[in-house]
Amino acid sequence: MSGVYARRIARLSALTASAALLATASLLTAPGAQASPPAPVSAATARSYLAAMTATPEGSSDGYSRAKFPHWITQSGTCNTREVVLKRDGTNVVTDSSCAATSGSWYSEYDGATWTAAADLDIDHVVPLAEAWRSGASAWTTAQRQAFANDLTRPQLIAVTDNVNQAKGDKDPAEWLPSRTAYRCTYARMWVDVKHYYNLKVDSAEKSALQNVLNGC
């Protein structure tokens, strides 16, 4: 009887050791905390969404101004949308009592640059505000435009190198894509995801450029 008991103890010890090894392995291979926008729809879903969008000539910029898309609004406490995105997209971000980032590291997905000063980063609207205006947002209420300009739920906001964001301006994917080609598939998925959700139009050149990227995903 004592021999059976000893064998059971040995088996239990082996199982415990095995479980501990598996737990350690899972900790080593587990993904780190999210440091990016919310994941966009899959390439297959993006292709489906895009196929259902009728190419429509772009509208006018008449009447457009950034002031018609109020941002950056307070999200919680002293933190506005820009500060929330900087915290989300960075690594080891430290903020002061006013929620401003005082240190941290940020990897810009568009160009592959890494920055350690928040001042070197812009928060890009993946679908630019002026592009949204020409694609249907001109008919929205100010409250709807504010929600679009501060949307943390969709993949619409991302921290990137400031001069890269400025070079992008209000261009659509027929006119501008990230120089880091490894991110273009994700960018196209983000763009289509946002336009689909907000029921914004696409023009023919934009649709063709998005199809070309998504077909290679």
Task: Say whether the peptide bond before residue 115 is cis (omega within 30 degrees of 0).
Answer: no
Both tokens of 88, joined, read 């989300």
Are 127 and 169 in contact by the 8 Å Cβ rule? The answer is no
pLDDT digits (tens, 9 = 90+) for 88-144: 999 999 999 999 999 999 999 999 999 999 999 999 999 999 999 999 999 999 999
Q: Name beta bridge partners: 161.
A: 121
State the 10-residue block means of pLDDT for the chain, 217 residues long: 39 36 31 68 98 96 97 96 97 96 97 97 98 98 98 98 98 98 98 98 98 97
| The model's pTM | 0.84
Using DSSP, state whether 17 is helix, strand or coil: helix
CA–CA gap between residue 191 and residue 41 (Å, rounded): 10
Q: What is the pLDDT of residue 36?
A: 83
